[in-house]
Structures are given as C-alpha cells and as structure tokens.
Amino acid sequence: MSEGRSEELVRELFADELRAIADAGLRNNVVKTWTLAMRLTGVTDLVSELQSGQIYGEQKSGLAVEHTRSVTQIALGIARAIAVTDSIPVDLDVVAAGGLLHDAGKIFEQATESDHPLTGPLISHHFSGLYVAMECSIPREVLHIIAFHAREGHHHRRSLECHIVYRADALSVDALLRREVGKTASDVIPYAYLR
C-alpha cells in the first residue's frame, strides 16, 4: 500500500476525532504518526490487521480502531465537562491527539512480518508509540500521554490531560468488552478483564 493510501485510510477511519483537533499542524502530524507506524511495520489495513488484544482468550481484530475512536470521544467528553463545571482550562487538542495516538505503538507489538527493532512483544507499545510520534514532531504534552496513559503511569506524575485519557481508556475497554461478551451495563465483570 502506498504512503498516500495509508494516509487516506487513517484520515477516513479517524475523521470525526481528527476534526476535534483545531491545530492543523498537529492534526497532520497525528495522521503522519499512524502512517509512519504502518510503513515501518508493513501493516496495511488497520481495521482487520490491528488486534485489540485477547477477550476471554479470543484474539479480536477490528476493535483497535473502534477503541481508539471511543477513547478519544470519551476523553473529549470528560475534558469538556471539566472545563464547564470546574473552570479549569483543559487543552482539547492535547486530549484529542493523545486519545488518537495512545495505542499507536500497538501496531509494532503485533507486527510479525517486520524486522524493525521495535516490533514484537519485547518492546511495549508506549516506547514504540513514543518513537513514531517523536519522528512526526508530536509535542511533548502528547508524548507524555503516550508514555503514561496506562498502568505504568501510576508510578509517574500525570498531567490532567493524561489522567483523562487514562480514565477514558479504561471506560472504553469496559464498554467494548461488555458488548463483545454479551453483557449489559448493569452486569458486573471481573476486574481482571478490565485491566
């Protein structure tokens, strides 16, 4: 797949969320980051090739794009609510870019056909995500979210934007997982599946 086609695909898949980024330069660099990750790993179809991990022992494809979108939308909703109710300015561009890129490195963890040194399970997606994002001039506030959005971030200080994406990540997993295993919102699910 040509670089241009990959870029087009990323713009299509994340159209609504990209629109939430006001800064055109940042928006383009978010697209470039996903496109570079695709080129370095040889992945051409994010929907069918990018897995979202195991759900009850079953590998799931396709959900990674949906998860990325839902994390971004949930995070933006929380950020807007905080701005309205608490009068604390939250940088919506940072939240949207952080949501869109928080798991961009997962493509490296799952790539089997590439001999790029960041591919495979030895390097966590936080590191590979940081690498591609830095290569595409993503600002440090967003790099911080990529680095510390998950449990690993508990041992580090987080910005409010990063904390928002961390919570949105957990909520998105909870909601998607319930749907995938046929549970409702009022069902209780073991914590182990939500980590």
Q: Smallest gap, in angstroms, from Cβ of residue 33 to Fe ion?
A: 15
The 10 Å Cβ neighbour count of residue 66 is 16
Residue closer to Fe ion by CB (options 29, 98) is 98
Q: Using CB under 5 A as the criterion, what x/- string covers residues 152-181 for binding Fe ion?
A: -----------------x------------
Q: Smallest gap, in angstroms, from Cβ of residue 24 to Fe ion?
A: 26
Q: Using CB under 5 A as the criterion, what x/- string covers residues 1-40 for binding Fe ion?
A: ----------------------------------------
Helices (H), the chain: 3-13, 15-19, 24-41, 46-49, 63-86, 92-101, 106-110, 125-135, 140-148, 160-180
Residue 60 is given by DSSP the state E
Based on the shown chain and the rule CB under 5 A, indicate whether residue 93 belongs to the binding site for Fe ion: no
Single out the segment in contact with Fe ion by CB under 5 A; choices: 21-29, 32-40, 57-65, 102-110.
Answer: 102-110
Q: How far is CA 71 from CA 8, 84, 103, 119, 173, in A?
A: 21, 20, 10, 24, 9
Q: In whole angstroms, give the CA distance from residue 37 to residue 41.
A: 6
- Residue identified by tokens 């086609």 is 5
Q: Using CB under 5 A as the criterion, what x/- string covers residues 42-81 for binding Fe ion?
A: ----------------------------------------
Q: How many amino acids of this chain bind Fe ion (CB under 5 A)?
A: 2
